[in-house]
Amino acid sequence: MGRWLTILGAIVGVVILAIIAILAYAYFNLNSIIAANRGYIVARASSALGRPVQIQNIKASLGWGVKVAVRGVTVGDDPSFSQLPFLEAAGVDVDVKLLPLLSRSVKVTKLEIDQPQLRIIRSSGGTLNFSTIGGKAHAAQPSASLPQEKTNNAASLAALTVGSLRIDHGTVLYADRQSGAVPLKVSDLNLAIDNFGVNAPFDLAMSLAVMGNQQDLTVSGKVGPLMHEGRIQTTSVPIDLNVTIGPVTIAQLQAVPQLVRAIPSALSIPQPITVELKVTGSSDAPIVAVSTDFTDNQVNYDAMLSKAANVPFKFAATASRAGHTLRLEHAELVLASLRAHASDVVVEPHHYAARIDTNNFDLGPLGKVLTPLAPYNLTGSAEIHSTLRLADHQPAADGTVTLANVNARLPGSTIPPIGALSGNIQMAGNSAKLGPISFRLGTNPARLEAIAQSLRPLRASYRLNAAIVNIGELVPSRRAMGEHLNQLAITGNVNRGSRGAVYATSNLTSGSGMAAGMPYQNLNLEAIYDGSQFTISSLKLNAFQGAVAASGVASAGGDRSFNLRLTAAHLNVREVLASQRSQAANILRGSLTGNAQIGGAGRGFDQIKPTLHGTGGAVLTQGRLLGINVVGQALQKVDNLPGIGALVPASVVARHPELFRSSDTDIQNATFTFVLQGPRLVTHDLNVAAADYSLLGDGWFDMDKNIDLAARIVLSQALSTELITAKHNVAYIARPDNRIEIPLRIVGQLPKPLILPNVTVLAQRAATHAAQREVGKLLGKRGGGGLGGLIGGGTKLNPLNQLKGLFR
């Protein structure tokens, strides 16, 4: 606004003074001066303005008044600003009353200026180039014919009045060297001034094109007086103006270099807008009342605002500026259902303050135009009464925000995740208290309290309680899982560090519930969030008839990596597997105790599975493998061994039906350690123990139930003895401790893998042991004639024939 007032003052004061100065001096002696002293007239005008003046032609006629037509007018600039003309005009027509001229007073009844061009410059020191007009004439403009008389230019200008001034199709060029901004050009300037005088206010009406080729700015009202203490003033000029900006598009405003920073590039208003202003006060301390109505317009601002046409959006304010301080006596904002009133607004370096009062507004219509809130389908109401301050980057607020029956719904959900929220937020300086606020989480009641001991830096504590929380109501994708938390209580602290990162600590307890398909009791979680990762200090719960504990870290962004330490004690394996909907729940029983250090990364299990890595160990007790009898099948598949035939006689099978006729594998105790490689667990020390045997394994199994395990079945001492007693030659495959060992391989997919005893190894072992035993017997007989007798055939017994019969 200061710029337009500067342009206005220049046009009203300087242009008129320059032209009238020429006419006044010319017509004091009309008959003789015009004819013979044209140079004298120009010199006197230059002396009066303190600027070089040039004209191409002057014509005058005399009647009841004086009519003068001047063509080709040029007024030079102060050389410290520019060498280009300050003012150029194609023509000037003026009517001057005759009688006042006789007393050296200029009373202009009509002044018309055609196509003037005015150059206004603001120096790096803040001085305007027309501020020196009316001073001493430049030495560069001497005239030997000037009379040596003392003149009072200010007095001459004070005697000037203009009844009517018209400027058509003018141009103003403005260059601000102090700010370094791109020069501004104003074109198609039309100006009408009535009752002009430098000692009194005058009427003004102006229209011009600032942001395009069409006129988009109109000004009307009163300006002046321009003279103060005998000099033309360039500051503190009294004004009372009505200003209309537009119709103009936001794109046109954004193209004006001086407005680039003031109008964000992300703001979009497709339709032209109009802004109304009332400007009073003075040119250097204006009081501006602005009003605009965007109701008919679409308004979009980045990801913050998306207003459709015909949604109410109005703004009105009255502002004043003194030095670097901007004050708003009041401001009114209407946006959808919101009616906000701001008063006592102060904006100055490092200090902002305002009083904000709103109506009790409906959140629904407002939530639809505020883009971040739109997906949540807000309903309910709110009301704000608060004083806000920001001094030296320290915020402070005193007041209350009241919320009533607020509901929010997630996209795609029919149940509001937050409903019936009601309560107050009380602010006191740099602190605040939230609640207690009652609300619903999904369909269940909850209660929240929070206290911010400091808003900047943020230091706050909170407590949340809910009798039950259904996770599926808050996260629709998990609705089918039936997850819920009973007797939920969360307490914690939130802090913001010096670098802006948020740090939060939480302690969560829940008496019972279901999470990730796992029913639990006595859940207790202690966690820390430091802006980049979650640290689980302690997680403990009872589940599956046992206990689970965990600790570790997980990143909050990026690849979502994690590294966890897990321990479990006495878990019911069937319940664990059933909770994860694993088919293995149908084949495995027992009580599991173990620990693991597991890491991975990903946003879903399909991404996580190939990245898994870690180590661990487990103990399974009172176990059973249903639908598969590993040992029974393996023993019965051992047949046609040299010197043995079938390994297990029918009599032994009859005495051990639980081993040979059961469809299951009993496991009294199983231990193993493992290395996790993606979805595969590799073990080298599987040890399964039962009453009649133990099984030692080395291999792997994976999360898709594939298995490849090299194993050895070692029968108990009692069962081994029973087999050897029933069939003596079974001793041929016994170990030195007389226990039977059966090598085998388990491959395929659970629950029906292939069980493949290694008959080849057994046959080789049986043949070797049988041969050694028979040879030993032969060597032990006497009277055989030594080795020669053994292989010569001269004895009663030929051991080669014995061996031959052995391997038939």
The Cα 82–Cα 432 span in angstroms is 59
- The pLDDT of residue 416: 73
Give the pairing of strands 680-689 and 693-702: antiparallel
Which DSSP string do the residues of 220-251 spell out, in sequence order?
EEEE---EETTEE-SSS-EEEEEEEEEEE-HH
The Cα 364–Cα 175 span in angstroms is 49
Among the listed ranges 92-106, 692-706, 714-728, which one has the minimum average pLDDT value? 92-106
Q: How confident is the model at residue 24 (pLDDT cuts 50, 70, 90)?
A: low
Query: Residues 6 or more apart from 756 whose CB is under 8 A from it?
Result: 637, 744, 745, 746, 747
699 close to 681: Cβ distance less than 8 angstroms: no
Q: How confident is the model at residue 172 (pLDDT cuts 50, 70, 90)?
A: confident
Examine the pLDDT at 126 and tell me if it is beyond 70.
yes
- The pLDDT of residue 340: 93
Interhelix angle 16-27/38-49, rounded to 10 degrees, is 140
Question: H-helix or E-strand containing 191?
Answer: strand 184-197
Distance in Å from the first CA to the final CA of the chain? 119
Among the listed ranges 151-165, 235-249, 780-794, which one has the minimum average pLDDT value? 780-794
Among the listed ranges 58-72, 142-156, 365-379, 504-518, which one has the minimum average pLDDT value? 142-156
Interhelix angle 759-780/799-806, rounded to 10 degrees, is 160
- The pLDDT of residue 773: 66
Q: How confident is the model at residue 25 (pLDDT cuts 50, 70, 90)?
A: low
Among the listed ranges 138-142, 298-302, 705-709, which one has the minimum average pLDDT value? 138-142
- The stretch 661-675 carries a mean pLDDT of 90
Query: Residues 6 or more apart from 127 whose CB is under 8 A from it?
Result: none
The structure's pTM equals 0.63
pLDDT digits (tens, 9 = 90+) for 526-556: 999 987 889 999 999 999 999 999 999 998 7
- The stretch 134-152 carries a mean pLDDT of 43
- The pLDDT of residue 352: 80
Q: How confident is the model at residue 477 (pLDDT cuts 50, 70, 90)?
A: confident
Q: How confident is the model at residue 787 (pLDDT cuts 50, 70, 90)?
A: very low
Examine the pLDDT at 28 and tell me if it is beyond 70.
no
- The pLDDT of residue 147: 40
566 close to 551: Cβ distance less than 8 angstroms: no
Greater confidence, 669 or 559? 669
> How many angstroms separate the Cα of 630 from the Cα of each of 451, 692, 765?
63, 13, 22
pLDDT digits (tens, 9 = 90+) for 760-776: 888 888 777 767 666 66
- The stretch 362-375 carries a mean pLDDT of 90
Backbone angles phi, psi at 508, to 5 degrees: -115, 130
pLDDT digits (tens, 9 = 90+) for 746-760: 999 877 788 888 888
Query: Which residue bears the tokens 């202009």?
Result: 108
Give the pairing of strands 202-209 and 217-223: antiparallel
pLDDT digits (tens, 9 = 90+) for 305-328: 899 999 999 989 888 877 677 777
pLDDT digits (tens, 9 = 90+) for 430-442: 889 998 999 998 8
28 close to 41: Cβ distance less than 8 angstroms: no
Q: Which of 3, 4, 5, 12 is nearest to 237 (CA)?
A: 5
Examine the pLDDT at 68 and tell me if it is beyond 60.
yes
> Would you call 87 exposed, middle or buried from its count of C-beta atoms within 10 A (0-12, 13-18, 19+)?
buried
Q: How confident is the model at residue 143 (pLDDT cuts 50, 70, 90)?
A: very low
Q: How confident is the model at residue 743 (pLDDT cuts 50, 70, 90)?
A: very high
The one-letter amino acid at 2: G
pLDDT digits (tens, 9 = 90+) for 392-410: 777 788 999 999 999 988 7
Six-digit token string for 397: 């607020």
Examine the pLDDT at 356 and tell me if it is beyond 60.
yes
416 close to 408: Cβ distance less than 8 angstroms: yes
Greater confidence, 343 or 33? 343
- The pLDDT of residue 675: 96
Angle value at C-alpha 699, between 697 and 701, nearest 5 degrees: 110
The Cα 168–Cα 508 span in angstroms is 77
- The count of other CB atoms within 10 Å of the CB of residue 748 is 14
- The pLDDT of residue 547: 95
Examine the pLDDT at 348 and tell me if it is beyond 90.
no
Query: Which residue bears the tokens 């004895």?
Result: 795
Question: H-helix or E-strand containing 117?
Answer: strand 117-122
The Cα 667–Cα 697 span in angstroms is 14
Six-digit token string for 420: 């019936």
The one-letter amino acid at 616: G
The Cα 405–Cα 53 span in angstroms is 76
Backbone angles phi, psi at 683, to 5 degrees: -130, 145
Greater confidence, 450 or 269? 450
The Cα 671–Cα 702 span in angstroms is 17
Q: Tell me what the pLDDT averaged over the chain comes to.
A: 80
- Three-state secondary structure call for residue 687: strand
- Three-state secondary structure call for residue 587: coil
Question: What region, left, alpha or beta, does residue 230 occupy, with left being phi > 0 and alpha being psi -120 to 50 degrees?
Answer: left
- The pLDDT of residue 797: 37
- The stretch 273-301 carries a mean pLDDT of 87
The one-letter amino acid at 509: T
Greater confidence, 805 or 614? 614
Six-digit token string for 734: 């016994």
Q: What percent of the chain has pLDDT over 90?
A: 27
The Cα 625–Cα 709 span in angstroms is 16
| R_g of the chain computed on alpha carbons | 51
- The stretch 362-379 carries a mean pLDDT of 90
Count of H-run helices and E-run strands, the chain: 18, 43
669 close to 693: Cβ distance less than 8 angstroms: no
- The stretch 138-142 carries a mean pLDDT of 41
The Cα 615–Cα 599 span in angstroms is 10
- The pLDDT of residue 642: 72
> Would you call 59 exposed, middle or buried from its count of C-beta atoms within 10 A (0-12, 13-18, 19+)?
exposed
Examine the pLDDT at 806 and tell me if it is beyond 50.
no
Give 399's Cβ-side CA count (13 Å radius).
Answer: 16
Q: Which of 283, 311, 308, 288 is nearest to 298 (CA)?
A: 308
The Cα 465–Cα 509 span in angstroms is 10
> How many angstroms separate the Cα of 296 from the Cα of each of 312, 339, 368?
8, 18, 17
b/e string for 544-553 if b means 16 or more Cβ within 10 A? bebbbebbbe
Q: How confident is the model at residue 802 (pLDDT cuts 50, 70, 90)?
A: very low
DSSP bridge pairs for 221: 204, 241
Examine the pLDDT at 149 and tell me if it is beyond 80.
no
297 close to 268: Cβ distance less than 8 angstroms: no
- The pLDDT of residue 196: 76
Among the listed ranges 22-36, 54-68, 558-572, which one has the minimum average pLDDT value? 22-36
pLDDT digits (tens, 9 = 90+) for 215-237: 888 889 998 887 777 676 767 88
Q: Which of 39, 37, 21 is nearest to 29 (CA)?
A: 37
The one-letter amino acid at 432: A
343 close to 333: Cβ distance less than 8 angstroms: no
Examine the pLDDT at 160 and tell me if it is beyond 70.
no
- The pLDDT of residue 386: 93
436 close to 413: Cβ distance less than 8 angstroms: no
Examine the pLDDT at 146 and tell me if it is beyond 50.
no
Greater confidence, 424 or 794? 424
> Would you call 144 exposed, middle or buried from its count of C-beta atoms within 10 A (0-12, 13-18, 19+)?
exposed
Residue ranges of E strands in 373-443: 379-391, 394-408, 418-429, 431-441
The Cα 459–Cα 451 span in angstroms is 9
> How many angstroms separate the Cα of 527 from the Cα of each of 492, 536, 554, 604?
9, 4, 11, 22
- The pLDDT of residue 801: 42
> How many angstroms separate the Cα of 642 from the Cα of each of 336, 403, 649, 803?
96, 90, 15, 11
Examine the pLDDT at 8 and tell me if it is beyond 70.
no
Highest mean pLDDT among 261-265, 555-559, 627-631: 627-631
Six-digit token string for 751: 């629950």
The Cα 687–Cα 709 span in angstroms is 12
The Cα 82–Cα 783 span in angstroms is 143
- The pLDDT of residue 158: 58
- The stretch 490-512 carries a mean pLDDT of 87
The Cα 251–Cα 265 span in angstroms is 9
- The stretch 238-244 carries a mean pLDDT of 90
Six-digit token string for 797: 């017994």
